[in-house]
A and B are shown apart, each in its own frame.
Chain A
Amino acid sequence: MKLLTFEGITIIGCILIAGCGNEPKRLPYLGNMEVKGSDTLYHTIPDITLTDQDSQTYRISNLDNKIILADFFFTSCPSICPKVTKQMLRLYDRYKDDDRVVIISHTIDQRHDSVAVLNRYAHNLGVDTGKWKFVTGEKDSIFYLADQYFVSVIEDPLAPAGFDHSGRIILVDKARRVRGFCEGTDPESVTAFFDSVDKLLKDEYQ
């Protein structure tokens, strides 16, 4: 009876709320689920063959159980790319000594961004290409891949330098499922994204 006083209810309420808040919340699985036979499958990033800045071909399934931070850019981009790359650098600095994370930047301008151009870009950015890969591939494959990463990429002669694209940075887990993203043009969004990456690392490697 005494518990039902105003103070009592407040205290019980506080305990309940605190209890719920402490429960570890997993990151969502983004994208449509697909039912195959009796299995329900999450949206996964296709395992397309890519070529990196050292002419090495590889697939993301060969990445040895790493989580991926991905974006789409091109080296001669005069609009949002430098800002996004600046934010990718923040992520690189934060996770450069963490072998569980790999960063992949996909060029959407395959005609200009050859392997040599990507290599020079990475070198001048001053990053370790073992950690942060700059990749190219068949144009159709890369555009399809962007679509699967939920990044819009459109070739548009009217846009600056011919491409219109979003500056999203995508978080992908070990099983190639999309688990989060942020807007690479917005530093605050990227700061909040650090938490998502940390949470995924904790979940995937416990």
Chain B
Amino acid sequence: MVLSRIFPLLPFILLFFIGGCQPEPYSQGEVLYKYHCENCHMEDGSGLGKLIPHLDSAKLTLSDPVKLVCLIRNGLPVNKLTGQKMPANLKMNEVEMTNLVNFLGSKYASNPQTVIVPEVKKMLAGCQTD
């Protein structure tokens, strides 16, 4: 009796358990963050004083994948107030970029948007400056 009532719920229960087993949904993105970003932005995104602002202060950019993809690809020019610039990253391909953007969004964006590889490929093509 009880079993038959639970049966329709079984897939959801299973999904719940599988979901619970994955410690970090964007583990590839996390590895890429460590490799490409962490030296300056730090493990916890806290940056360095006013020289490198906390990622929390960029919630809006992080919520907009188009802006974020181009920001990572092209970097930022020298900030006149701090003298710091963000270096461009020309190395990452669209798969890596997708993983990184999804990780950053999930962690720091106020309104996280998930992207897929073909979308990121288009975004990358759209943000070439030269």
Which A residues fall within an 8 A CB radius of B?
75-76, 78-80, 82-83, 85-86, 89, 117, 120-121, 124-127
Contact = CB atoms under 8 A, between A and B. Distances in A.
Interface stretch (B3-11, B12-20, B46-54, B62-70): B46-54
B39 A79 contact: yes
Contacts of B87: 78
Given A75-B83, A78-B87, A124 B49 contact: yes
A126 B40 CA distance: 17
Interface of B: 39-40, 42, 47-52, 81-85, 87
A121 B39 contact: no
25 contacts: A75-B83, A75-B84, A76-B83, A76-B85, A79-B39, A80-B39, A82-B39, A82-B40, A82-B42, A82-B47, A82-B51, A85-B48, A86-B42, A86-B48, A89-B48, A120-B81, A120-B82, A121-B51, A124-B50, A124-B82, A124-B84, A125-B50, A125-B51, A126-B49, A126-B50
A124 B81 contact: yes
A83 B42 contact: yes
A117 B84 CA distance: 10
Contacts of B85: 76
Given A78-B40, A80-B39, A117 B83 contact: yes
A191 B95 CA distance: 38
A124 B39 contact: no
8 tightest CB-CB pairs across the interface, nearest first? A124-B50, A125-B49, A124-B82, A82-B40, A126-B49, A124-B51, A82-B48, A78-B87
